[in-house]
Amino acid sequence: RLPLLAMHITQLNRECLLHLFSFLDKNSRKNLAKTCHKLLEVFQDPLLWSLLKFHSPVELKKDNFLLGPALKHLSICWYSERVKLCNIEDWMKNSFQKDFCKRHENTVNDFLLDVCNRCPNLLSLTLSGCGHVTDDCILQLLKNCPKLRSLKLENCVQISDHTLEAVTLHGASLQTLHVDFCRNVTRAGLDRVRAKCPSVMLRADRSGDMIPD
């Protein structure tokens, strides 16, 4: 029988290490990177960060991921009861709730600004339950990420026909557009997108029929 040979993880080449890291979540990648300089270099390799998913605003402020030109697919989806608060009208909130939502708004806007500046090769963006995403944020993303093919917005209450107009002006590469449960999107805005961008697959479940703010 041949003897078993023990191999330390750092003896693997960069390609193998990147493959192993790809199976780990963001926190596990960060923790592993703290163990030695070689694994830190793998953590910092842009090729590792082509896909990012976030499930709470707090995650956007952590240092367990990297934004860069390699990012192709970004998803920000949250559904917790505390985050749902940010999707109701301001007049229904007390002062504590307004302050809570303001902190979320700054966090989300700062993060998306970073994406605009660092991720020009973004191909798909999904935003769900993000009550603080504004028309201007989407406009800047469309301008700075010209390769964007898929834009999916769900229950983003500040999104309006201005975003639809931005799509017609700056969404040259766009193939898929979802604006589900976006109550400030109108039927007229949707019709303009269909007329000006007939090749775009447009979905607008419960949008255009909802009562706007």
pLDDT per residue of the chain (213 residues) written in tens, 0 to 9 = 655 555 678 888 999 999 999 999 999 999 999 999 999 999 999 999 999 999 988 899 899 999 999 999 999 997 655 455 555 566 566 775 666 566 666 788 889 999 999 999 999 999 998 888 899 999 999 999 999 999 999 988 889 999 999 999 999 999 999 999 998 999 999 999 999 999 999 999 887 765 555
Q: Mind listing the pLDDT tens digit for each residue in 55-83?
A: 988 899 899 999 999 999 999 997 655 45
User: Residue 22: CB partners within 8 Å, gap ≥ 6?
Assistant: 48
Q: Beta-strand (E) ranges in 78-189?
A: 124-128, 150-154, 176-180
| Distance of alpha carbon 64 from alpha carbon 115, whole angstroms | 16
Residue 73, beta-bridge partner list: 51, 124
SS (H, E, C) 178-189: EEECCCECEHHH
| Distance of alpha carbon 189 from alpha carbon 162, whole angstroms | 8
pLDDT value for 108: 86
Q: For residue 156, how far is the Cα from the chain centroid?
A: 12
The first and second tokens of residue 111, run together, are 């993060």
User: Residue 180: CB partners within 8 Å, gap ≥ 6?
Assistant: 152, 153, 154, 155, 203, 204, 205, 206, 207
Q: Beta-strand (E) ranges in 10-148?
A: 51-54, 73-77, 124-128
Quote the pTM value. Answer: 0.84
| Distance of alpha carbon 123 from alpha carbon 79, whole angstroms | 24
pLDDT value for 152: 97
Q: Mind listing the pLDDT tens digit for each residue in 122-141?
A: 999 999 988 888 999 999 99
| Distance of alpha carbon 64 from alpha carbon 172, whole angstroms | 33
